[in-house]
């Protein structure tokens, strides 16, 4: 009877062993079948004669499906060029070979373990090919397949991490180079100090100021400024070396440069913690140029204040001194007009009329100049002013001045309470209201006052229905003696709006106008909720 073909599923029959059936062969076959690696034996004719259980599990092919077939027949869709060549060399020349994943990734289409299947789409394999001599001087080819998927993935991860680390090192070196270049080329001196008081200059400017050739006392000054200067803090520096009070938050010190020139420095100190210790970053900025600019600005401000004071004194003195001769001229011209009116010819009467009118206009101009000069010099202290009450006083003043159409001055809504000089604010709104009525129809003229609030200010609007102002004159009208109409058309000296603007500026606000010819004008007075620092102390 013909002997049946042995299979790896039958432990009593050694797989692919044509030479014997003893217990040793059976044990050897059982060991191969239960190994944790794949085992394939290829006979001299290139067909498979052994296929262990590991291969059966990973390929889903039983020994009955593969024994007696070529490896290329079992995996017809897989390119086995390198594996096939290695098997051929092994059978023909007895040459062993190792096929690693780096040379032939996924040589056989085998499944990875279930715990890896979700992460890896294929098994990475290491295949060892060895010749096996049989007792009849034949040669078999043994293929040992190891699953190295996890090792390959770990190697790839390590390579990726190594590449990233190399990139990080390169970037760090570049960053260090840039930082070093920035430190060396910055105009500020930068030092680092530890909590024991040790100070190290970090750039050339710091070495120049605090090094061996720099100011010998500057290190002591810096140690004195540090929050913790060790067990033996340095003595307090001389008063002339610390320019600003330590409690102000901005510390300025005076250092001596190598050229024996005093250099004012601004000191900024910040800290960081490392290795369980505090370290301090000290930045010294040369503020010599800023100090020079501050002195120039201070001198300029002093000159401006002196010049403005002189101009105000001159305007006041000139206006005041002109009052007496002008009153004399005005009195005698009016006397001539009353005594000789109708007694001389018409030309003489006209001349006398011009003289009287001229002196009266000059009187009004001098009065307005006096008012303008007194805005800054004779202002009263600021306090809370309720604009509602101010509006009531304004309406009363207009009614006392002469008959006016009922309801021609209207307040819409509630006006705010602002901080200022009540008498000047009353003059401000009287001028704006008077200006709106003057350039409106006497019968139908109307001025509305209303307000709105912004996050930082109150805006009060004075709107009229007069003749309006062309846009090109919206800034010009606030200048002294700037009139858009002749004296015969509308009364006034051309100073009223200039007075308004100066009053608003004294209160730290702004005055502007929006207007369209023929549709009226809207003057906007904006008062800050908090007075700016430009308001002089005398104003308060």
Rounded Cα distance, 512 and 504, in Å: 10
List Cα–Cα distances, 207 to 223, 226, 241, in angstroms: 16, 19, 20
> To 10 degrees, the CA torsion angle through 379, 380, 381, 384?
-110
For residues 456 and 466, is the Cβ–Cβ distance under 8 A? Answer: no
508's torsion region: left (phi>0), alpha (psi -120 to 50) or beta? left
Q: What 3-state class would DSSP assign to 324?
A: helix
> One digit per residue, pLDDT tens: the chain, 540 residues?
333 344 444 444 444 444 444 577 678 778 888 888 999 999 988 899 989 999 998 888 999 999 999 988 888 887 888 888 888 889 888 899 988 876 666 578 888 877 777 777 778 888 999 998 887 778 899 999 988 888 878 888 888 888 898 888 888 888 878 877 777 778 888 888 887 778 888 888 888 888 777 787 888 888 788 776 555 667 777 777 887 876 666 788 888 776 667 888 888 888 888 777 778 888 888 888 888 888 889 888 888 878 777 776 776 666 666 666 777 777 777 777 777 777 777 777 777 777 776 676 676 666 666 666 666 555 677 888 889 888 888 888 777 766 555 668 888 888 888 888 888 888 888 888 888 777 677 677 788 899 998 888 899 998 888 877 777 666 767 766 555 544 544 555 567 788 888 888 888 888 888 888 888 888 898 998 877 644 444 444
List Cα–Cα distances, 194 to 68, 206, 229, in angstroms: 81, 16, 9
For residues 82 and 105, is the Cβ–Cβ distance under 8 A? Answer: no
Residues in the chain: 540
Q: What 3-state class would DSSP assign to 448?
A: strand
Q: What 3-state class would DSSP assign to 12?
A: coil
53's torsion region: left (phi>0), alpha (psi -120 to 50) or beta? alpha
Rounded Cα distance, 447 and 434, in Å: 9
Helix/strand/coil (H/E/C) assignment for every residue in 513-534: EEECCCCCEEEEEEEECCCCCC
Handedness of CA 234, 238, 240, 245 (dihedral sign): positive
Rounded Cα distance, 77 and 35, in Å: 27
Choose among 169, 175, 204, 200: nearest CA to 189. 204
Please tell me the pTM assigned to this model: 0.43
List Cα–Cα distances, 43 to 7, 15, 363, in angstroms: 14, 12, 134
Rounded Cα distance, 169 and 450, in Å: 68
Structure tokens at 414: 């509630």
For residues 201 and 189, is the Cβ–Cβ distance under 8 A? Answer: yes
Beta bridge partners of 263: 255
Rounded Cα distance, 394 and 462, in Å: 13
Indicate the burial class of 198 (C-beta count within 10 angstroms; 0-12, 13-18, 19 or more). exposed
Rounded Cα distance, 452 and 415, in Å: 8
């Amino acid at each position: 009877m013909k002997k049946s073909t042995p299979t790896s599923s039958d432990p009593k029959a050694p797989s692919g062993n044509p030479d014997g059936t003893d217990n040793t062969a059976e044990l050897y076959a059982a060991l191969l079948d239960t190994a944790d690696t794949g085992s394939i034996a290829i006979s001299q004719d290139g067909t498979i004669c052994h296929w262990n259980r590991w291969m059966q599990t990973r390929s889903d092919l039983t020994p009955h499906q593969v024994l007696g077939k070529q490896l290329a027949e079992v995996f017809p869709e897989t390119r086995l060029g390198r594996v096939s060549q290695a098997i051929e060399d092994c059978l023909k020349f007895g040459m062993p070979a190792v096929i690693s994943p780096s040379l032939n990734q996924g040589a056989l289409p085998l499944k990875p373990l279930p715990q890896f299947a979700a992460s890896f789409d294929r098994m990475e394999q290491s295949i060892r090919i060895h010749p096996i001599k049989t007792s009849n001087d034949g040669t078999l080819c043994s293929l040992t397949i190891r699953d190295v998927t996890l090792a390959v993935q770990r190697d790839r991860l390590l390579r990726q991490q190594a590449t990233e680390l190399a990139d990080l090192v390169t970037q760090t070196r570049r960053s260090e180079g840039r930082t070093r270049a920035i430190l060396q080329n910055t105009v500020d001196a930068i030092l680092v100090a530890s909590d024991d008081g040790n100070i190290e200059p970090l750039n050339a400017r710091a070495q120049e100021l605090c090094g061996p050739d720099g100011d010998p006392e500057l290190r002591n000054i810096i140690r004195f400024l540090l929050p913790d200067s060790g067990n033996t803090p340095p003595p307090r520096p001389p008063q002339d070396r610390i320019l600003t009070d330590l409690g102000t938050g901005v510390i300025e010190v005076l250092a001596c440069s190598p050229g024996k020139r005093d250099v004012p420095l601004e000191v900024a100190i910040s800290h960081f913690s490392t290795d369980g210790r505090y370290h301090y970053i000290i930045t010294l900025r040369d503020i010599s140029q800023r100090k020079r600019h501050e002195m120039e600005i201070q001198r300029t401000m002093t000159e401006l204040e002196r010049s403005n004071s002189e101009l105000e004194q001159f305007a006041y003195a000139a206006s005041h001194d002109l009052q007496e001769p002008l009153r004399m001229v005005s009195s005698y011209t009016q006397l001539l007009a009353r005594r000789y009116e109708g007694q001389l010819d018409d030309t003489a009467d006209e001349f006398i009329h011009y003289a009287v009118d001229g002196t009266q206009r000059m009187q009004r101009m001098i009065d307005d100049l006096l008012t303008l000069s007194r805005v800054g010099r004779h202002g009263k202290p600021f306090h809370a002013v309720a604009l509602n009450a101010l509006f009531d006083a304004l309406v009363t003043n207009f009614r006392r001045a002469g008959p006016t159409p009922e309801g021609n001055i209207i307040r819409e809504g509630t006006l705010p309470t602002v901080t200022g000089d009540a008498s000047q604010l009353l003059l401000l709104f009287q001028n704006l209201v008077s200006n709106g009525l003057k350039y409106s129809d006497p019968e139908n003229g109307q001025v509305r006052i209303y307000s709105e609030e912004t996050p930082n200010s109150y805006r009060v609007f004075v709107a009229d229905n007069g003749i309006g102002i062309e846009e090109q004159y919206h800034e010009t009208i606030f200048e002294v003696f700037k009139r858009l109409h002749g004296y015969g058309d509308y009364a006034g000296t051309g100073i009223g709006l200039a007075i308004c603007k100066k009053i608003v500026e004294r209160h730290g606000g702004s005055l502007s106008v929006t207007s369209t010819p023929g549709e009226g004008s809207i003057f906007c007075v904006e008062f800050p909720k908090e007075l700016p620092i430009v308001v002089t102390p005398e104003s308060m």
